[in-house]
């Protein structure tokens, strides 16, 4: 299975300073995000989002806020006919030393475990 891994914030949708995220309710897509994702789908790629969210672990936003924002983003993409196969995120603090926080490879390994047919 051909698969493209994408970061989320600053890649698919706008990113913000940590302390502003609690006020962000509506995703704003980055220029050409739709076009790039649609092109990859046409080329036969599955799309997986991998994203660091220490904002949750460090208390900048709640899990509920993350879920609400993220649901809206996926709806926006779905409205543009872009199916996202899955999303893997790291909710840990930057000081937790987990292996899923990028640039660690834990999120990719989680994806490979769940979808062993990824090339």
Residues that bind Zn ion (CB under 5 A): 90, 92, 98, 100-101
Which of residues 45 and 104 has its CB atom nearest to Zn ion in the complex? 104
Which of residues 81 and 99 has its CB atom nearest to Zn ion in the complex? 99
Minimum CB distance to Zn ion, residue 25 (Å): 25
Minimum CB distance to Zn ion, residue 104 (Å): 7
Residue that is written with structure tokens 């993409």 in the block: 77
Minimum CB distance to Zn ion, residue 82 (Å): 26
Which of residues 46 and 110 has its CB atom nearest to Zn ion in the complex? 110
Q: What letters, b where the CB count within 10 A reaches 16 and e where it falls short, cover 63-74?
A: eebbeebbeebb
CA gap 84, 18 in Å, rounded: 25
Minimum CB distance to Zn ion, residue 2 (Å): 26
Which of residues 30 and 98 has its CB atom nearest to Zn ion in the complex? 98
CA gap 76, 109 in Å, rounded: 27
**Three-class SS state of 44:** coil
Burial class for 106, CB neighbours closer than 10 Å (0-12, 13-18, 19+): middle
């Amino acid at each position: 299975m051909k698969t493209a891994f994408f970061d989320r914030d600053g890649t698919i949708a706008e990113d913000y300073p940590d302390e502003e995220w609690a006020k962000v309710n509506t995703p704003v897509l980055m220029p050409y995000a739709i076009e790039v994702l649609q092109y990859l789908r046409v080329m036969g790629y599955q799309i997986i989002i991998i994203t660091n969210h220490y904002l949750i672990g460090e208390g900048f936003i709640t899990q509920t806020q993350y879920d609400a924002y993220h649901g809206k983003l996926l709806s926006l993409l779905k409205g543009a006919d872009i199916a996202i196969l899955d999303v893997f995120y790291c909710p840990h603090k930057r000081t937790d030393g987990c292996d899923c926080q990028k640039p660690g490879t834990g999120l990719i390994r989680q994806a490979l475990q769940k979808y062993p047919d990824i090339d």
